[in-house]
Structure 1
Amino acid sequence: MRAGKRGLITAAVTVVCAVTVLAAPGTAFAAPTPTPSPTTTPSLAAPPDKDLEAVREKLDALYHDAAVATDAYNAAEEKAEKQSADIVALAKKIVEGKERLDRLKDRAGAAARSQYRGGGLPDEARLMLSDNPQQFLDGAGRVIQGQRATKGLIGEMSRTQQDLEQYSKDASAQWKKLEEGRKAKAAAKKEIKKQIAAAEKLESKLEKKEKERLAELEKKAALKAQTAWLGSGILDEIKGDASAQGRKAVEFATAQMGKPYEWGAEGPNTYDCSGLTSQAWASAGSTIPRTSQQQWQQLKHVAVEDMRPGDLIIYFGDASHVAMYVGDGAIVHAPRPGRTVTVAGAGTMPILGVVRPGA
């Protein structure tokens, strides 16, 4: 890892550790209180914190719904890619099956013509008229073998025809699924844009000072959640060392710090939450599911106290967000639209559970 990059990561983790110290159980701290300005009039006063807190909660809800829709979009896109690949494979089988059927028909036609040329008199008459009975009997044996081969040829033609019919049915079914997936993907995309637009509209109504105070409230809420998480003593129990793959995944994820969040993105310039984690583990040589919900469903579950750097923390009851644990109570993740890949406290959001990619 380059020295500059290591310094950036160290600084980020130091910030998290500083928050950890501030949030240690038994340590009292107070939210900063703005110094009243003598020129401030009641009409220009900022709205009460409770109003901004309501705005913060509403924004969280809107971005959460956008994250759920993003997971649906990513899942539909992944299915569409697989279904398209299946359709291509089936099309190849259909072409190969038709070519095989044509060859079998040619062989069957040649066999029929051969039998026709050898037809005419009954076998008994041909035996009596033959100058060489043994030659006739040998020929008769070959005819019997030919008849058996013809039956086998007809059976093979029948099976090939059945295969072609099944391939066609399968391809038709895959096309139907692909169309359903396209509609699901379009609906998810529409929902994402709707939720993000609503959030941006809500934020656009805020004055500069209100936005600054809102940012303070967001930090305060994150600090409160991290304090509660650390207050359980969980960090004393988390002592696992990263695997070789886990270290590579962490190096990749932390190297993306500062890059913007973009829904549906898997890099290299922008990421959504599961795009970051899936690409980080791909860089470590392990393919994992694309979405946070699939990662929760398909990867190995481990207890929070047993997690180690490189493991993925799944957040919220619907598994709509994922981050990578980097150690010392910190995570790296792509938070939401308008934010960049960053380091945060692992307990700043409700933890659903932990999963472990890799061997």
Structure 2
Amino acid sequence: MSQSAVLLLNLGSPESTSVPDVKRYLREFLGDERVIDKPAAGFLRRLLVNGIIIPFRAKKSAHAYESVWTPEGSPLVVTSRHTQTKLQARTPLPVELAMNYGNPSIPDALHRLVRQGVDRLLLFPQYPHYAMSSWETVVVKVQREAAKIAPDLKIECVQPYFADADYISALVTSARPYLAQPHDHLLFSYHGIPVRHLTKGDSSHAHCQVVPDCCTTCSPAHATCYKAQVTRTTHEFVRAAGLDPAKWSISFQSRIAGEPWIAPYTDHLFEELPKAGKKRLLVITPAFVTDCLETLEEIRVEGAEQYKEAGGQEFTHIPCLNDQPVWIDFLEQRVRAWQQTGALAFSAGDLVKTR
């Protein structure tokens, strides 16, 4: 009989906060051709990553990880395991967890599933939005590894759910207790990507960064446009939560110097908002389903310090969905719908042909 299973996918973390472990993680992460896709030649990319970026970044990153590390380990991995356990309690299907970089690894997860006789697999990237450097790369990696480990495995994938009503409902429900607190402004801070990735994802080469208001002007390009998708998430959230149009804005964090990244930049707004009289700030980070270094250290620690140094008084980061009941409900409902209809299937094979 056919045996189905679910594989939850997330980014990953170093094994520890030691500099060698952080270097090993950064080497794998930044060596991904869909994360740093320039220069195109592999040896030049390795030279850039290993000879320039990692030597200057490893110690700083290790210190940052130390500031958020828990007794159980990486907060991203620990919380993801909690999510896996809670979802497993809701479904008879085997539920595995894998990280794109580090452990638990994708090959190990696939081997465990094969040993259980799994021949149909639902990939569930923990990314609401499409981006070449996140959603696409982890889906393609699973297919590449599965071709070696289990070539007959039927792989299907949950599509990006950035504007789906159930996802928006979960996000708003999770945020409501914080929205009820007195505040002057809500900042939607999303992970940044290079502008070049936006135009690269537009196969028409005639919409992104070309058409005025390209993110809100309907186009097939939006299927692979990260900025259009985060814009849609924000507008759907604002509508569902009934927010004041004058009390929210969008920004992007975690950029790397050297080329234009999508703007406005979160750290710039942390300095500008207090000057505009926004003294009580809420920050929500919907590109991240699970709290991680970019939310816990970059926003909750560094961001709060920067905002208050600029004159802000109250700073609150709204936690990610993590393993909250509303998120487990969302996952369970999607898995159940897939079992019943298979309507959420998406072919990862098409992605391989696009790069």
Query: Which has the higher Rg, Structure 1 or Structure 2?
Result: 1
TM-score (norm 1): 0.19
TM-score (norm 2): 0.20
